[in-house]
Amino acid sequence: MSKGTTIKEALAAWEAKAGEKAAEAEEIKLLCQIPSIEKMDASLSTLTNCKKLSLSTNGIEKITNLNGLKSLKILSLGRNNIKSFSGLEPVGDTLEELWISYNLIEKMKGIGVLKKLQVLFMSNNQVKDWSEVQKLSELPCLVDLNMVNNPIEEKHSLDGTWRSEIEKKLMKLKKLDGIPIVRQDDEEEG
């Protein structure tokens, strides 16, 4: 079995292609690496100016080494093998969007550290329980949520209760699964 691409190797290739230093860039795309990136290694800490980091479509299992990313606003980790939100603490005060669809997340433990998170795209994961969805209420700025194709969404969409339950649990939400939420008080203000 071949060894995965390291972040250091991927950044060197990115720099050669982009013609700029990764440490100075605001957007870095390290998606679909061949062989795939398996670990978020310490080389990420050099990306102090990065506002948008894309690591989608790799083989990453854990979120780690985000300490130096003091400017990070958008983190794209879709299509990996991530099982939990642990490791996000270093970007808890800056991250506004987390794209983490097509992973293996079942539990929401650790999501509450993202105090500025506005957008959470986590379709095609493994969330099964309302108690886990309820943890999203710890996110004071969350306005856009996509949870399509999670077991809980599939079950409650079939019985017609998904949208109404989410609207009750997450009062600040403005968009669910790509569809705007219209609340009674919104209509009265308009």
CB 144 within 8 A of CB 174: yes
pLDDT at site 154: 98
Long-range contacts (CB closer than 8 Å, 24 or more residues apart) made by 18-27: 22/46, 22/47, 22/50, 23/47, 23/48, 23/49, 24/49, 25/49, 25/50, 26/50, 26/51, 26/52, 26/71, 27/51, 27/52, 27/53, 27/54
Burial of 7 by CB count in 10 Å (0-12 exposed, 13-18 middle, 19+ buried)?
buried
For tokens 């299509």, name the residue: 79
Mean pLDDT over 161-190 rounds to 87
- Tens-place pLDDT, residues 40-76: 999 999 999 999 999 999 999 999 999 999 999 999 9
Average pLDDT, the chain: 95
pLDDT at 2 > cutoff 80: no
* pLDDT band per the 50, 70, 90 thresholds, residue 184: confident
Alpha-carbon distance of 155 to 161, in angstroms, equals 9
- Tens-place pLDDT, residues 127-151: 999 999 999 999 999 999 999 999 9
Which of 38-47, 100-109, 148-157, 179-188 shows the lowest mean pLDDT across its residues?
179-188
* pLDDT band per the 50, 70, 90 thresholds, residue 3: confident
